């Protein structure tokens, strides 16, 4: 074994003031670091490299007894940024970007308090957003140090395959082998169950949390109803899965195959041809102007066409849930849009929706603001209402629902941003830019982080003072940090659910819950 990298690592750690620490896991002897009360292990391989003949195959657990240098964040999985909006999307959601990308990307990171080691601690398992086409646990904003040291919990963040690598929607594969990114998430959860006790974590007290596509991933994990659920609670930040078409579309993958010169009939021969295509070539195509879109298919294993019906029928995991949306979840996706008629035609293709009817649901707003709010409601707030009502109708799990209103000047990355989609990440992880933050922003980070950690520690009770358990129609919809209220004793303002859900009930829910 070549010990030089580990020896060099120890020299660097000593110079930087960090101390080396070793934990033995199924992935090997992890050589991490300890600094200021937090142990960190970055770039821990949990899956074998999904390359070559393992491309588009279910993940295979990585098992080793050797020494592993886990002091540096691993590469991101190969990313896709839609061509027409690539520059803006990356400036908002991928800035600063990860150091590198690689098809060999099944790695995770662990941050754990180094104090009170004998006391088993709750675990937060994080799934990033990015529409299932981009995103990585290696973004600086997802560093778990602050959560671990300030909240005394163990934090795990993971990579999972996205876009064509994780969700190919290919007729060359069995239907149950198309949602590979979700299988990656499940393998990482298995790793946590096997190993988290070595870091002082309690495998029986795992909460899975995600934002956007990561939140939808949490929801899908709840809907699967495992016999032995590897988590006891879920947190869904701006994302809840609703009804899906049971008929998959293979056109994007077929177009890709033709573009890279694999023109065989769909099947083993074409798949072997495609497995030989360099990852860089694939990335160039999927990030170019001719690429289609890639995403999950209904396989009735990881994704069901009717998740809401499964919730209502109690055919899902019975775990407490926190879920909610940002007040301006739609602003980043509707920049510059002013034509309400054209927007509605694109949002609900084939259905004529009167712009005047929509305007009546959002009184005193101009069309640009209405477009942003419609996007928020269709994609985030209305799915949350459907989920909350479905969960409570089953009567087997506590639900805590919120809408997030914190706005800070240094987080306004584009005109009219407001409390925009993903702007809660910095305050939650404590990774906001402290040199530009106001005192109120610092206070809010502590308040919000503590509320989330309270739920992780005890998901059967309210996350904060005055945050009631959700009841449809009741004064149980928690507005968080509106009107500058960021202190622990005033940041929750409960309102009647119908005061915010009116457009959902009047119009949008019928397009989201079409299996009901």
Question: Which active-site residues does the annotation give?
Answer: 212
For the chain, the farthest-separated pair of C-alpha atoms sits apart, in whole angstroms, at 71
Q: Which pairing describes strands 233-237 and 477-480: parallel, antiparallel, or unpaired?
A: unpaired
Q: Please report the DSSP string for 46-92 in residue order.
A: -B----GGGTTS---B----SEEE-BSPPPBPPP---GGGHHHHHHH
The answer for residues whose C-beta is within 8 angstroms of residue 301's C-beta and 6 or more apart is 176, 179, 224
Beta strands 399-404 and 233-237 are unpaired
The residue with tokens 């006391």 is 119
Q: How far is CA 123 from CA 49, 205, 355, in A?
A: 26, 6, 47
Lookup: tokens for 403: 């809408």
CA distances from 285 to 53, 164, 257, 507 (A): 21, 10, 10, 38
Strands 19-25 and 67-69: unpaired
Q: What is the rounded CA–CA span in Å between residue 391 and residue 222?
A: 11
Phi, psi values for residue 357, rounded to 5°:
-60, -45
CB atoms within 10 A of CB 117: 12
Pair 412, 320: CB distance under 8 Å = no
Residue 269 makes CB contacts below 8 A (sequence gap 6+) with none
State whether the Cα torsion 479-482-483-484 is positive or negative.
Answer: positive
């Amino acid at each position: 074994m070549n010990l030089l990298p580990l020896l060099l690592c120890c020299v660097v750690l000593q110079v930087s003031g960090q101390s080396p620490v070793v934990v033995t896991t199924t992935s090997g002897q992890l050589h991490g670091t300890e600094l200021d009360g937090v142990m960190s292990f970055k770039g821990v391989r949990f899956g074998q490299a999904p390359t070559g003949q393992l491309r588009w195959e279910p993940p295979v657990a990585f098992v080793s007894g050797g020494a592993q240098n886990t002091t540096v964040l691993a590469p991101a999985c190969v990313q896709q940024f839609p061509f027409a909006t690539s520059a803006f999307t990356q400036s908002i959601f991928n800035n600063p970007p990860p150091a590198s990308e690689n098809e060999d990307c099944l790695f995770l990171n662990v941050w754990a308090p180094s104090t009170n080691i004998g006391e088993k601690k709750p675990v937060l398992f994080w799934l990033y957003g990015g529409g299932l086409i981009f995103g990585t646990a290696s973004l600086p904003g997802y560093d778990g140090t602050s959560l671990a040291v300030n909240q005394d919990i163990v934090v795990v963040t993971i990579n999972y395959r996205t876009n064509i690598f994780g969700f190919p929607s290919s007729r060359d594969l069995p239907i149950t082998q198309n949602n590979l990114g979700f299988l990656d998430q499940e393998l990482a959860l298995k790793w946590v169950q096997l190993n988290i006790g070595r870091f002082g974590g309690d495998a029986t007290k795992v909460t899975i949390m995600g934002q956007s596509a990561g939140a939808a991933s949490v929801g899908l994990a709840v809907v699967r109803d495992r016999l032995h659920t590897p988590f006891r609670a879920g947190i869904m930040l701006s994302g809840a899965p609703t009804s899906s078409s049971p008929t998959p579309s293979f056109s994007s993958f077929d177009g890709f195959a033709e573009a890279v010169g694999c023109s065989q009939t769909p099947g083993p021969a074409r798949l072997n041809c495609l497995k030989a295509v360099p990852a860089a070539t694939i990335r160039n195509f999927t990030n170019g102007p001719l690429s289609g879109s890639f995403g999950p298919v209904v396989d009735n294993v990881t994704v069901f066409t009717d998740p809401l019906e499964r919730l209502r029928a109690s055919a899902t995991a019975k775990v407490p849930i926190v879920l909610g949306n940002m007040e301006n979840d739609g602003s980043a996706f509707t920049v510059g849009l002013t034509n309400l008629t054209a927007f509605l035609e694109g949002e609900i293709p084939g259905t004529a929706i009167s712009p005047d009817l929509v305007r009546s649901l959002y009184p005193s707003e101009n069309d640009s603001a209405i477009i942003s709010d419609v996007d928020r409601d269709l994609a985030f707030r209305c799915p949350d209402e459907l989920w909350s009502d479905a969960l409570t109708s089953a009567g087997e799990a506590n639900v805590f629902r919120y809408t997030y209103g914190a706005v800070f000047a240094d987080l306004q990355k584009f005109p009219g941003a407001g409390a925009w989609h993903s702007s809660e990440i910095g305050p939650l992880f404590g990774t906001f830019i402290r040199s530009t933050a106001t005192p109120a922003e610092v206070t809010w980070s502590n308040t919000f982080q503590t509320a989330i950690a309270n739920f992780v520690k005890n998901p059967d009770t309210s996350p904060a003072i005055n945050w009631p358990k959700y009841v449809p129609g009741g004064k149980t919809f928690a507005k968080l940090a509106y009107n500058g209220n960021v202190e622990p004793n005033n940041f929750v303002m409960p309102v009647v659910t119908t005061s915010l859900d009116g457009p959902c009930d009047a119009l949008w829910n019928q397009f989201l819950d079409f299996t009901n």
